[in-house]
Amino acid sequence: MNVDAMIEDLRTLVEIESPSGDIEALTASAEAVKTLVEARLGGTAVLVESAAGPHVRWSGGGEPRVLVLGHHDTVFPIGTLARRPFAVTGGRVTGPGVFDMLGGLVQAIHGLAALDDTSGVEILVTADEETGSHESRSLIEERARACGAVLVFEGAADGGGLKIGRKGCGTFEVVVTGRASHAGLEPAAGINALIEAAHQVLAIAALDRPEAGTSVTPTVASAGTASNVVPASATVVVDVRVETTEEKERVEAGFAALTPRLRGAAITVRGGIHRPPMPESAAAGLFAVARRLLPGVAGVAVGGGSDGNLTAAIGVPTLDGLGAVGGGAHADHEYLLVESMAERAELAAGLVKAIQGH
């Protein structure tokens, strides 16, 4: 593997900033991914337009056998690159998106380029993974079913481990509606949405069940307009992570059962657990192959979600965390280890060959 070429390809992708939701930026990013795929693998990559921005698809022809899955959107706003430019220093590559997950894309593409035969291989690089894959989900599930095996090139777990299980995750928004009044002249005439929200935060927190691998965490709250006005509305945002379908159903039922404590207050619940759990059983067969190719590599269950949750949930064998070895996802210290790039590209090639039956 030509690591220098991999680094230059990664530089090209990183230096085209691609924050989720910025259609203009994502269009430029998708064009860059398309150009890279065609340059390294030949054939024609296709841009699939969506309300979230373009996804990139490529096929090596023949009967679909394996889906190489990734995303080109990042969490970093335009301007991050100027503050934190692409750099290679002391065996580390830094810059916005190098670990999550542009480095994984480059390694996958170079791994496939080393194969004599790419028949049966499909690549899908989506534009909205960081915001929940709402626009790409149906396409991901369609191609996963068609291919029958999925390799996800999200960043590796700590120490380079592969991700063999993921918690289901989602976000709930609880909106409380009360009634405004003057806090000094007639406070009793109002319905205090902030007090109601406080009751609801305690009820929501009671849904937490760490012994079952479930976390229910209120994270953002807002209420009120002025210091002398009884708040007419309040909003509470809640992050939820679950390990099992049973817990998913329990938590969703708990949110649906929330009821006001103050007379006249109303509650509206939005959102849900949009990424179902990825059970370790979904990765078992592919992980066994990976262990033969890379003896000693660890398999780790993690709390974060990815598009691997979606493919595993529909029963398609899925192995995740095949991408960059490094850390700092979504943070300013994000980095990729150069020494692991060739090894991970070779692992990608070996897995695809095994799935092809070569």
Active site residues: 73, 129
Report the alpha-carbon distance of residue 235 to residue 164 in Å, rounded. 35
Report the alpha-carbon distance of residue 254 to residue 235 in Å, rounded. 17
Q: Are 108 and 37 in contact (CB under 8 A)?
A: no
Beta-bridge partners for 74 = 19
**Contacts (Cβ under 8 Å, ≥6 apart) of 162:** 156, 283, 287, 290, 297, 298, 299, 300, 319, 320, 321, 322
Q: Are 60 and 41 in contact (CB under 8 A)?
A: yes
Report the alpha-carbon distance of residue 240 to residue 215 in Å, rounded. 6
Q: Are 90 and 144 in contact (CB under 8 A)?
A: no
Angstrom distances, CA of residue 206 to CA of 19, 147, 155, 216, 344? 35, 42, 33, 8, 42
Beta-bridge partners for 240 = 170, 216
Q: Are 181 and 189 in contact (CB under 8 A)?
A: yes
Helix ranges, the chain (H): 3-14, 23-41, 80-83, 103-113, 137-147, 193-205, 245-256, 284-293, 307-313, 341-356
Beta-bridge partners for 170 = 240
Q: Are 119 and 62 in contact (CB under 8 A)?
A: yes
At 311, list the tokens: 């493919």
Q: Are 56 and 46 in contact (CB under 8 A)?
A: yes
Closest CA to 299 of 328, 319, 275: 319
Q: Are 323 and 103 in contact (CB under 8 A)?
A: yes
